[in-house]
Each structure stands twice: as structure tokens, then as C-alpha cells.
């Protein structure tokens, strides 16, 4: 089963992906985590993307498509995969369709996690405090920019999944366990 988690920054994608990994043996492919690992490793790629990520803009499509294609190959034996943070643009969504088709795979659910922007600001401020400011993009100004980028570039891909009949919506502002129950209901429906 392949699931996409799509939603604005701070909506709880990572938390829900982690729960699915722990409870249902899913493999989480988080492009944000992969990019942060590249930055931490001070790789060439990390150096290339660090400034982009710090402003909340998106990393170029081709780079992300290559990264996910590589990960799908690494995980070719895994049957349950969550894509957390990919695709984020129409070009990525189209590239994903063809890379899945060429591997005999398809998207089972594209789960949109909705959340109100003021709630996101509160959550990101809490995450910045809890992690000692570990992420350069966890502050209100960058967060508001990331939400704008989400609305302009990522939300427009949702109709693509509605047309395929795989688009599902959950309210990301509910408590973590309630959101997890809703997602579980979708996966077992």
C-alpha cells in the first residue's frame, strides 16, 4: 500500500507517519528528513539546499524526484510505504505517477491533513521550543511563508488525487490519537 500524507507545515504529517511505522509496519519516506540529513552530513547536496530550506522555499523538483526514485528502489521489497512531504508540486505529482507505474505500483490513498494557519503557528513555536530551535525554518516568519508556498504550489495537486478517487481529508487540528483513528479508518475502509 502506498500512502501520501499531504498538508501544510506543522499539520502533523511526521507524527502520523511515525505512528503508522510503529503500529502498522509502514516505511516512512520523508523528503524533509532526508534533506536535513544531507545538511547535517555537510554533503554537496546539503550545501545546495540549506539556504533554500531556511527561507521555506521548495527545493528544485528534479532533485526531489531523483531522491524519491532512489528511495523507491532501495525499498523495492517493502509493501507499505508512506510518502511524507512528497509530492509538493504538480511536476512532482506527475513524475511520481510515472515512477510508480514503471515499478508496477500505485497510490492507494492521498491523505490531506487540514489545519488552520494560526494553529500551525502555535505548533511550530512549540516545536522550536521543544527542539531547542533545531530547525532553521521553525519560526513564525518562515512558517507563514511555507504555508503560502503550500497553498500556491502543493494544495493545487489535490484535485489530481480526487480525480483518481484516492483523495481523503482528515482534520489535522484534532488530538493526535483522533487523527490516527481517522487515518486508520481510511486505511481499513
Q: What 3-state class would DSSP assign to 131?
A: coil
Which positions from 59 to 78 touch ligand AMP by CB under 6 A, shown as an x/- string?
A: x----x--------------
Strand partners, 84: 5, 30
**Per-residue exposure over 86-124, b if at least 16 CB sit within 10 Å of its own CB, e if not:** bbbbebbbebbeebbeeeebebebbbbbebeeeebbebb
Distance of CA 64 to the CA centre of its chain: 12
Residues 83-112 that bind ligand AMP (CB under 6 A): 85-86, 88, 92
Nearer Cβ to ligand AMP, position 71 or 92?
92
Backbone angles phi, psi at 109, to 5 degrees: -145, 135
Residue from 7, 12, 56, 172 in contact with ligand AMP (CB under 6 A): 56
Q: Quote the CA–CA distance of 89 and 76 in Å, as a whole number.
A: 24
Listed residue (173, 166, 185) closest to 5, CA to CA: 166
- Rule CB under 6 A: say whether 53 interacts with ligand AMP: yes
Q: How many residues bind ligand AMP (CB under 6 A)?
A: 17
Nearer Cβ to ligand AMP, position 103 or 148?
148
Which positions from 128 to 147 touch ligand AMP by CB under 6 A, shown as an x/- string?
A: ---------x--------x-
Residues 166-185 that bind ligand AMP (CB under 6 A): none
- Residue 64: CB minimum distance to ligand AMP, A: 4
- Residue 66: CB minimum distance to ligand AMP, A: 11
- Residue closest to ligand AMP when measured from CB atoms: 32
Nearer Cβ to ligand AMP, position 56 or 172?
56
Contacts of residue 86, Cβ cutoff 8 Å, sequence gap at least 6: 4, 29, 31, 64, 68, 92, 96
Contact residues for ligand AMP, defined by CB under 6 A: 9, 31-32, 35, 52-53, 56-59, 64, 85-86, 88, 92, 137, 146
Amino acid at each position: 500500500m502506498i500512502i501520501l500524507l499531504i498538508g501544510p507545515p506543522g499539520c502533523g504529517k511526521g507524527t502520523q507517519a511515525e505512528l503508522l511505522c510503529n503500529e502498522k509496519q509502514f516505511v516512512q519516506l520523508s523528503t524533509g528528513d532526508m534533506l536535513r540529513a544531507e545538511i547535517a552530513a555537510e554533503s554537496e547536496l546539503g550545501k545546495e539546499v540549506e539556504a533554500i530550506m531556511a527561507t521555506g522555499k521548495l527545493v528544485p523538483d528534479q532533485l526531489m524526484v531523483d531522491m524519491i526514485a532512489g528511495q523507491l528502489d532501495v525499498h523495492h521489497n517493502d509493501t507499505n510505504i508512506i510518502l511524507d512531504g512528497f509530492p509538493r508540486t504538480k511536476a512532482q505529482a506527475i513524475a511520481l505517477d510515472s515512477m510508480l507505474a514503471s515499478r508496477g505500483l500505485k497510490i492507494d490513498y492521498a491523505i490531506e491533513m487540514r489545519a488552520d494557519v494560526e494553529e500551525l503557528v502555535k505548533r511550530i513555536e512549540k516545536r522550536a521550543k521543544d527542539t531547542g530551535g533545531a530547525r532553521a525554518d521553525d519560526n513564525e516568519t518562515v512558517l507563514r511563508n511555507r504555508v503560502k508556498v503550500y497553498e500556491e504550489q502543493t494544495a493545487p495537486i489535490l484535485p489530481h488525487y480526487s480525480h483518481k478517487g484516492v483523495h481523503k481529508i482528515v482534520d489535522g487540528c484534532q488530538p493526535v490519537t483522533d487523527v490516527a483513528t481517522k487515518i486508520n479508518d481510511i486505511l481499513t475502509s
